[in-house]
Structure 1
Amino acid sequence: MRTWLPMVIVVALICAGLWFAESPPEQLMGKRPTRKEQNRAPDLVIRGAKTRHFNPEGTLAYRVDADKISFFQFSRRDRANLTEPRILFYQEDKPKWRTVSHSGVAYNNGQRVVLKGDVKITEQPAPGGVHLETEQITIKPRQEYAETNKVVNIIAGPNHTRGKGLRAYLKQDRVEILADVESSYEPLK
């Protein structure tokens, strides 16, 4: 019996060592990382990102470029932080609307994108088209829809419109300003 005792102790120590090595300290201590701690370490970082998204017919619908994308995967959702994002929407294989901003956050695999910081949306080809500016806007790229409750400035040639809140149906080239609308128009000569 004495010859087996050292062998059992060695096997038990090896098993305990393997279990300790394979278990994160949070699990051993019974602690889970806080949401803030989860947000600190992205699952994936891409610099100089260029993505292309196609419609069901196989033609290019829009593209998203960003200086940096930090991707976070959670149990029920995902999120991607975007640095200097640029989105270009296409209609009939031609660029139609271009967005730029300082930062953005894409949720649920890009189904909803919130752009922040000096957001500009420009009708292509620029110059000459409609130009929209706001501080923050939510875009649903697959529906080519954008909305905000912030102040919006729209410039179309010499005409200027300012208001609070906006719904933009990019595919239909239709924009609705929701409140406090002020416009100045230059009449045609």
Structure 2
Amino acid sequence: MRTWLPLVIVVSLISLGLWFTESPPKQLLGKTPTQQQHNKAPDLVIRGARTRHYSAEGTLAYQVDAERITFFQFDRRDRADLTEPRMIFYQGDDSKWRTESRSGVAINNGQRVVLKGDVTITELPQPGITLRTENIVLKPREEFAETNKVVTITDGANRTTGKGMRADLKQDKVEILSDVESSYEPR
């Protein structure tokens, strides 16, 4: 009987070890993760991210750089949380517009990007116009931006403020929607 005891102990330890490695968390912790907890876990986190996006013709359309991108994949859509995103839009071989903000959210593979916190859109090359607001929605593939927040546009010493804006970055057209005030200094 003594000869079987070590063998039973070894088999028991191996079985117990396999059970622990194969057991889902609910059996180990006594809890079942909720759907919200599953949704909160990111699928991918990238630090020092740099992406390039090309037009149908194969030319560089825009690039996105961010300190961190946290990507979530859901059943019907995806979302990427951006930390300190910077975007540059190109027209031909030249960079035309640069955006910066504290944070952002890209939805459905970047079809819609919401930038938040000290948003700045700068025309390149400088000197050019600069738009500032707290929150803006971009449609990068269409090179379109809009907001319902207060916007300040500066061009050298000239300054325009208003509430709400639509900007067609491809056509270099900016429209302030209401409460427009301007100050202009002749050169």
Letter in 2 for 1:171: K
Q: What secondary structure is seen at the aligned counterpart in 1 of 2:170? A: helix
In the alignment, which residue of structure 1 is the partner of 2:93? 93
Q: Distance in 1 between matches of 2:184 and 2:98?
A: 24
- Change in Cα spacing, 1:138 to 1:36, as seen in structure 2 (3 Å) is farther
Map Cα deviations across residues 78-136 of structure 1 (whole Å, 9 max, x no partner): 0000000000000111000000000000000000000000000000012x100000000
Unaligned segments of structure 2, at least 5 residues: 1-14
Q: Do 2:157 and 2:184's aligned partners in 1 also have CA atoms closer than 8 Å?
A: yes
* Deviation (angstroms), 1:166: 0.4
Unaligned segments of structure 1, at least 5 residues: 1-13
Q: Distance in 2 between matches of 1:79 and 1:24?
A: 26
What TM-score do the two structures reach when normalised by structure 2? 0.83
What is the count of residue pairs matched by the alignment? 170
In the alignment, which residue of structure 2 is the partner of 1:129? 128
1:82 correspondence with 2:82: yes
Give the 5 Å matches for 1:30-109.
33-35=34-36, 38-39=39-40, 41-109=41-109
Letter in 2 for 1:71: F
In the alignment, which residue of structure 1 is the partner of 2:158? 159
Instruction: Note the aligned Cα RMSD (angstroms).
Output: 2.3
* Deviation (angstroms), 1:187: 2.4
Letter in 1 for 2:184: Y
Letter in 2 for 1:116: K
Q: What secondary structure is seen at the aligned counterpart in 2 of 1:72? A: strand
Q: Distance in 1 between matches of 2:115 and 2:46?
A: 18
What TM-score do the two structures reach when normalised by structure 1? 0.82
* Deviation (angstroms), 1:33: 2.0
Q: What secondary structure is seen at the aligned counterpart in 2 of 1:142? A: helix
1:146 correspondence with 2:161: no
Percent of pairs with identical residues: 64
Q: Distance in 2 between matches of 1:148 and 1:35?
A: 30
